[in-house]
Chain A
Amino acid sequence: MPLVRAAQRGDRDAYAELYRRFGRFVYAILLARVSHDTAADLAQDVFLQGWTRIGALRDAAAFPSWVGAIARRRATDHLRRSPPEVELEDRHASREAPDITLEAGRAMAAIRALPEAYRETLALRLVEGYSGTEIAALTGLTPDSVRVNLHRGFKLLRERLGGSP
């Protein structure tokens, strides 16, 4: 990936382009674990952290899985240090955010309540619109695993949401 190598040489524009390309991937990983407000902030933290460490990345092609791993660690760290997050729908009810519907908050909370294996795959597919093939390429999972996660996860999600999301 020429962009990664350029960023390793200190090219800020190249790194900004990586943020544009992989920001939503990192955000979806975070969104599967924390609230949407926090996920957006943490996504920026993840890329700032990546900027200081990208020189240590040996295989430029491994950038997506590398930055994804930083995101998972950052979310874990955030959850360990912070008090339990208020449920999305409660937060929504207490603040002005006209673009966030109550249904969206409830659906996302239901995804976060799924077994861990399904959360991230469903967030990538249903929120950010990645295809199964893209999810496999970005996460390093096999296509079969992604397919299983998508179908089982979606089935479980539909049951939890009462048959109709």
Chain B
Amino acid sequence: MTTDYLWNPEDAPDPDVEVLERTLQPLRFASRAPALTLPARSPVRRHPLVLAMAASLFLAVLSAGAFWRWRESWPTGRAWPVTLLTGGQTTLGIDRSLELDAHTSAKVDIARIGAMEVAPGSALTLSQTNAARHRVVLDRGNVRVRVWAPPGRFAIRTPAGEVIDLGCIFDLSVDAGGTTDLHVATGWVELSNFLGESLFPAGTSGTMTPDGRPSVPIYDDAAQEFTRAVRSFERTADEASRTALAGEIARHARPRDVLTLLVLAHQTSGDPKRALLEAAAQLSPPPPGLTVEGVLADRARLWEWYDALDLPPVKSWWRNWRDAFPHARR
């Protein structure tokens, strides 16, 4: 046998190999090759593209999950970074106060879930911070808060009560007497003290004093007469005055102001309550099956009406995802 021929058919033939080649020749592909009929369309490159997209999506979900876990995490008691806008950095530890003079403002990181812009002259103290709960005491001054986190994760205590973030951007000011003024830019905020609580959706404002229940929400674009009448209504307990003010409120109310009317009606009784509900029914009728008489007979049914208003759900804080970014401003 010539080993070269087995390796290289161009070499001198080896008889044994040559015989076997001839024997097998009928099996050659050339004599049996079927025609190749390709399908009409080729999914060329679609397969890797789909794979790449699936892989990208998987990685994105994985990364988002990891980022979210990191963003929510915070070691118990770790101080918050503070940037003084006049220059310089410091931290705000537990039970430590940040007192700004009349010329200095600061940005305080709320762990990793948001930030506060603190105006000159403000005084605040960090009372608690951990992965599930961040609490601040604001004794005086103004802050703009931007938080994107589940409801209740962040709250500010003022001399008038507690301001609970439900996932949003809001402005808060506390004067020397402890009166707390709130304006909500996105999401929802709750004002709460020992006399009651009130929810404020985006675009509304409210107030809370140390000796009174939190006010009802009023849209910022409501008529001034409407706002004045509502605040007067809240300050008086005299039923005759309230009835008169209810008429004034009804005259200046818009369909959107039914939110205010319903919350106000929930906090009162008698003729003023009826007047507010009837005004509300004219502007935004109650849902089917509910009447003013029905609400007067059963106080709890007022919330069916409230829930039928065109308001974002309180628990949909995640929709305000833009608030997670430092430059979110509305």
A residues at B contact (CB < 8 Å): 7-10, 12, 15-16, 19, 23-24, 27-28, 31, 36, 40-41, 43-44, 47-48, 51-56, 99-101, 103-104, 107-108, 125-129, 131-133, 147, 150-151, 154, 157-158, 164-165
Contact = CB atoms under 8 A, between A and B. Distances in A.
Contact of B26 (A10, A27, A100, A157): A100
Given A10-B44, A52-B42, A107-B20, A100 B36 contact: no
20 contacts: A8-B44, A8-B45, A10-B44, A19-B36, A23-B29, A23-B33, A24-B28, A27-B29, A36-B27, A40-B32, A43-B29, A48-B36, A52-B42, A52-B47, A53-B47, A101-B26, A104-B23, A127-B27, A127-B28, A128-B28
Interface residues of B, number: 35
Interface string B142-184: 0000000000000000000000000000000000000000000
A165 B19 contact: yes
B3 A51 contact: no
Given A8-B44, A52-B43, A128-B29, A44 B24 contact: no
B38 A51 contact: yes
Interface of B: 1, 3, 6-10, 16-17, 19-21, 23-34, 36, 38-39, 42-48, 51
Given A48-B36, A52-B47, A131 B7 contact: yes
Contact of B6 (A10, A103, A125): A125
A158 B36 contact: no
B268 to A, nearest CB: 72
B95 to A, nearest CB: 60
B38 A16 contact: yes
A104 B38 contact: no
B30 to A, nearest CB: 7
A12 B38 contact: yes
The DSSP consensus for interface residues of chain B is helix
A144 B34 CA distance: 34
B92 to A, nearest CB: 53
A150 B6 contact: yes
B36 A47 contact: yes
Contacts of B21: 126, 129
B24 A126 contact: yes
B194 to A, nearest CB: 68
A151 B3 contact: yes
Nearest to B16: A158
A127 B20 CA distance: 9
B17 A154 contact: yes
A99 B44 contact: no
Given A55-B48, A101-B23, A10 B7 contact: no
Nearest to B14: A154
A99 B31 contact: yes
List 6 tightest A-B contacts by C-beta distance, closest first: A55-B45, A24-B29, A27-B29, A132-B7, A165-B20, A55-B44
Nearest to B19: A165
A104 B36 contact: no
Contacts of B20: 107, 126, 157, 165
Given A52-B42, A99-B31, A158-B16, A127 B24 contact: yes
